[in-house]
Each structure stands twice: as structure tokens, then as C-alpha cells.
């Protein structure tokens, strides 16, 4: 937390000063009580004292004072807020190796299940699109707020063919460029989530597509699946194993992150975490009103308790 008017915090010295006066008053109170030597008679006359309860209203009063002074200093806090608008393109590798069964029940099925969880967790205002790629890229669903359509398009993903990562990225960028701004001309935050299990072996250069994404200020988060340092078998043929270096380079180029998921459970967690990141945005917001309201509530609480118990304000 930071403060726009930090000099106002000097006023907090009032709190220890008032505390000192309160402690001194309590000591004098005990001194007067001790002077009355017949303590048993004093207890019958005065009755049972309030005990520790008498300190509660002053403590609440002090907390209220701290909250009000802090509010005067115009505090700024970084808080998470739900994102109003966002565009997300899901880009899936559907090459033959995605039919491998080293993930349960297979890589492509694990990817589909994780994607369903991802879409379910997104706010209704977030537009989602789906791209698949093997030797070529295919737009399975353009950007839309109809999440049920996205779920159905995810279910159409089947493995077969080669791996053209660059073409998949370029197809996603083309979709995002078409809806880069809202009706008021404001840029809509856009993200690509790319999943692959192999090295690019056809189509355009993935790094060229990554540089294009960087120029368009679009973050690409990449997800690698399947066993590391291995050759994958799928759809009756062999393909090169996971190219983590390339996926990391794509993410780094665009300011995104690379995730490795070697198991179905891990892949689901990755997509769940990504949906949370996309759904929420952190903003620095002034919370003076919040602290001031808290101070007023605490003042009222201290006053009500003091009147209820002792018939006077603290």
C-alpha cells in the first residue's frame, strides 16, 4: 500500500498520546480505589466492576482514529478486479502425435477436457475463439461470446497430420486483429493460449509469428504436453518430440509464460490458472473511501458499546 499524501500520517502520533492519557487515567483510578481501605465494603457499595470490558470501546475508538487518518493520506492499493472485456484465442496442435496415450485417455482428449474447464471458468463477457493446426491452420470457431459454441468446437478436435505452429499463431492473430477494439475505439486486451506436443515441421516460421504478436501487443502463453526428449507415436507414424525451447521462446518474445504439463491433472490445473489470470486484472486504486467508511463504523460501534455498558462515550 502506498499513500498520495503521506505527510498526513504524522497525525497518527495522536494515537499513542491518547493511549498514554488513557493509561494514566486508569492508574489514577486504581490509586483512588486503593485509598478506600475497606475494599469489601467498597465492592458492596459500588458493585462488581466492568473488568476488561471497559477497555473495549477505547480500543475500537483508537482503531477508528487510525482508519480515518490513513484515509486522509489517500492510500493506494493494488487490487484484483473482474475484467470487463477480453479476447482469447485457444490454439491447439492436432498433429498425429496428439493421439498418443501417454496422457489419460490421450493427449488430444486431455487437451479438450482442460479447454472445457478453461472456458467454463471465463466470465460471459470474454470472447473466445478456437484455432487448430496440423499441416495447416483451421478456424474452428471465430471470436464469440457464445461459450456453448466454443465448447462444441473443442469437441471437434481430432489428431492427424504434421505440425505448423507458425500458421496456427498467424491464424489466431488474424482473428484478434479483426476485433482488436470495442465500439468506443478502446483496445480490447487479447491473449493467445497455444498448446503443442511437437516441433514445428511445416508452414511459416513460429518466431516470425511471435514477433508479429509482440508488435500487436498480444501475449502468447504456451503449453507443452507429452513426454520430454522423446519421439511420439500417433495415428500410425512417428513425430519429433516436444520442442520446449521453441515454446519458451514464443512466450518470452510476447511477454507470456510457458507451462509444461506432462500429466492430465497438471494440464487441467494449467488451464484453470490461465483462466483466472485472464478473468481478473490488477489495478492500483485509491481506497480512501473504504478506510473512511471503516473509521466511521468503528466510531459508531465504540460509541454504542460505551453507551450500552457505561452510559457515556469512550
Q: Which of 89, 101, 118, 114 is nearest to 235 (CA)?
A: 101
Does the structure show a pLDDT above 70 at 31? no
DSSP secondary structure letters along 259-283: EEE-SHHHHHHHHHHHHHHHHEEEE
What is the pLDDT at residue 306?
80
Q: Which of 119, 103, 115 is nearest to 264 (CA)?
A: 103
Determine the average pLDDT of the residues in 159-163. Answer: 93
Any bridge partners for residue 195, and if so which?
92, 223
Question: What is the DSSP pairing of strand 86-93 with strand 126-133?
Answer: parallel
Determine the average pLDDT of the residues in 209-234. Answer: 84
Least confident residue range of 39-48, 204-213, 234-243: 39-48
- Measured CA distances, 287 to 3, 12, 33, 99, 228 (Å): 10, 18, 46, 52, 48
Confidence of residue 27 (pLDDT cuts 50, 70, 90): confident
* Residues 6 or more apart whose Cβ sits within 8 Å of residue 26: none
List of domains in the chain: 2-78+285-310 (no CATH), 83-262 (3.40.50.410)
Does the structure show a pLDDT above 90 at 129? yes
Confidence of residue 52 (pLDDT cuts 50, 70, 90): confident
Confidence of residue 35 (pLDDT cuts 50, 70, 90): low
Amino acid at each position: 500500500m502506498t499513500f498520495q499524501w503521506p505527510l498526513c500520517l504524522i497525525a497518527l502520533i495522536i494515537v499513542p498520546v491518547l493511549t498514554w492519557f488513557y493509561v494514566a487515567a486508569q492508574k489514577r483510578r486504581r490509586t483512588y480505589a486503593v485509598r478506600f481501605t475497606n475494599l469489601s465494603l467498597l465492592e458492596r457499595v459500588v458493585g462488581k466492576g466492568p473488568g476488561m470490558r471497559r477497555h473495549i470501546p477505547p480500543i475500537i475508538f483508537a482503531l477508528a482514529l487510525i482508519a480515518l487518518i490513513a484515509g486522509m493520506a489517500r492510500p493506494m492499493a493494488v487490487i484484483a478486479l473482474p475484467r470487463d472485456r477480453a479476447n482469447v484465442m485457444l490454439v491447439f496442435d492436432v498433429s498425429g502425435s496428439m493421439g498418443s496415450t501417454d496422457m489419460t485417455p490421450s493427449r488430444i482428449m486431455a487437451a479438450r477436457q482442460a479447454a472445457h474447464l478453461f472456458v467454463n471458468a471465463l466470465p460471459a463477457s470474454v470472447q473466445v475463439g478456437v484455432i487448430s493446426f496440423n499441416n495447416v491452420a483451421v478456424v474452428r470457431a471465430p471470436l464469440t461470446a457464445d461459450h456453448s459454441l466454443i465448447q462444441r468446437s473443442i469437441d471437434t478436435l481430432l489428431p492427424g497430420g504434421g505440425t505448423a505452429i507458425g500458421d496456427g499463431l498467424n491464424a489466431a492473430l488474424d482473428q484478434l486483429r479483426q476485433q482488436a477494439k470495442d465500439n468506443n475505439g478502446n483496445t480490447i486486451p487479447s491473449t493467445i493460449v497455444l498448446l503443442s506436443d511437437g516441433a514445428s515441421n511445416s508452414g511459416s516460421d513460429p518466431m516470425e509469428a511471435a514477433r508479429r504478436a509482440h508488435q500487436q501487443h498480444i501475449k502468447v502463453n504456451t503449453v507443452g504436453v507429452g513426454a520430454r526428449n522423446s519421439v511420439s507415436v500417433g495415428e500410425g507414424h512417428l513425430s519429433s518430440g516436444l520442442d520446449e525451447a521453441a515454446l519458451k521462446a514464443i512466450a518470452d518474445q510476447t511477454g507470456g509464460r510457458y507451462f509444461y504439463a506432462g500429466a492430465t491433472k497438471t494440464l487441467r490445473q494449467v488451464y484453470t490458472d490461465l483462466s483466472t489470470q485472464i478473468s481478473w486484472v490488477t489495478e492500483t486504486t485509491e481506497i480512501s473511501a473504504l478506510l473512511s467508511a471503516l473509521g466511521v463504523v468503528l466510531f459508531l460501534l465504540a460509541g454504542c458499546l460505551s453507551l450500552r455498558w457505561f452510559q457515556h462515550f469512550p
